[in-house]
Amino acid sequence: MSIQIPGTAKTVAIAGATGAVGREFITVLEKINFPVKELKLLASKRSAGTSIDFKGVPIKVEEMTEQSFKGVDIALFSAGSSISKQFERAVVDSGAVMIDNSSAFRMRESTPLVIPEINPDDVKKHQGVIANPNCSTIIMLMGVYPLHQKYPVKRVVVSTYQAASGAGWAAMEELKEATRAALAGRDFTPQKMPYKYGFNLFSHNSAIDASGYNEEERKMFQETAKILHDNSIAITATCIRVPVLRAHCESLNIEFTHQAPSEEEARELFKAFPGVKVVDDRQKNYFPMPLEASEQFDCLVGRIRADNSLPGKALNLFIAGDQLLKGAALNAVQIACLL
């Protein structure tokens, strides 16, 4: 993955610094050597006073207030929609740019929704806030857009296999505990998830409307149209929570407007696209896996094959991406680099 690092040091605030994505913000800033002049770690009153290391130096977590953003250039938010809405005005009035990981502003017309490899120019339209897309949407489009640039896409059928990390640290810990209980033959009462998580999978735990689609699935339709500035691509999704800690996987069936690329050309298009790595060895039956995608910046793409039900018109593929990185913290820091 190629990332253009800013030349000027920035004062960066992280809101929700003690959460799963907040900690990944810190890790990504370290790994890419983002030029940080000062790092402010912000969280709730309950978490204030703890310390988190950045480049070997402990930084004290402060309680987030409306005064926290004075002198800040970039505010990376992963504290939930209600907190983002509560502090938006304070961030913008301070002169900082909020890069928000929640769903609070994604579909607001005045707020850019950005995947840096796909629509970087949209960053220029910001009015103080830039939204990070939903993790499932990001990972799906990293599998669709490299092909769509040359072979316009007509329709996508996507099935997701979503990790616990999408619901935060508490869900990841619950998965571990539920698995231990299942192995020991103990009863387990779920707290974070609606059902027992160990050795189980279930429909994504977000609200279902009258259409029968849940919120996660609707995000994939709506956000794709906004990111690509194209309402013509038909998308249908089934989102499933699986007992994996931190990398989402997605099965994609992509139908093209005119003709599908050959399997070999599809592989070459993916190899040329930043942020994507081809893992597609049929001889060894070796394809993208969540364990190998975890803690990786790149999304892994494989199982690339023609759809024999629509000869010459569609392809199938499988993609895996780290939900906490490309699905959240990494994408947000890439946006900060664009700024």
In sequence order, what are the residues at sequence separation of 6 or more whose Cβ sits closer than 8 angstroms to the Cβ of residue 102? 77, 78, 79, 80, 81, 83, 84
Query: For residue 128, what are its two tokens?
Result: 């103080």
Strand order in the sheet with 97-100: 51-54, 57-63, 36-43, 10-15, 74-77, 97-100, 129-131
d(CA 50, CA 47): 6
Question: Minimal CA–CA distance to 234: which of 255, 219, 216?
Answer: 255
Whether the CB-CB separation of 173 and 217 falls below 8 Å is answered with no
Whether the CB-CB separation of 51 and 59 falls below 8 Å is answered with yes
Q: Is 126 a catalytic site residue?
A: no
d(CA 134, CA 152): 23
d(CA 251, CA 294): 17
Catalytic, out of 239, 248, 249, 299 = 248
33-58 burial string, b = 16+ CB within 10 Å, else e?
Answer: ebebeebbbbbeeebeeeebebeeee
C-alpha gyration radius of the chain? 20
Q: Is 148 a catalytic site residue?
A: no
d(CA 133, CA 140): 11
Query: For residue 218, what are its two tokens?
Result: 């609707």
Active site members:
135, 248
